[in-house]
Amino acid sequence: MITINNDQLKELEAFINQIPTIYGLPLLQFFGKLNAEQNPPVEEVKVD
């Protein structure tokens, strides 16, 4: 069992709150790049 005090809890919460900012955007950019490489946009041609 692990016991943490209030200061440690605040430090842990601050770290957890940084995770989406630090890792989220780079991951989205990485997957966006992979998607663009593997699924290139297809230009639609309308026939009237």
Predicted confidence band of residue 48 (pLDDT cuts 50, 70, 90) = confident
The 3-state DSSP class for residue 3 equals coil
Structural contact between residues 7 and 15, judged by C-beta atoms closer than 8 angstroms: no
Tens of pLDDT, residue by residue over 19-34, are: 888 888 889 999 999 9
Predicted confidence band of residue 47 (pLDDT cuts 50, 70, 90) = confident
Calculate the average pLDDT of the chain: 90
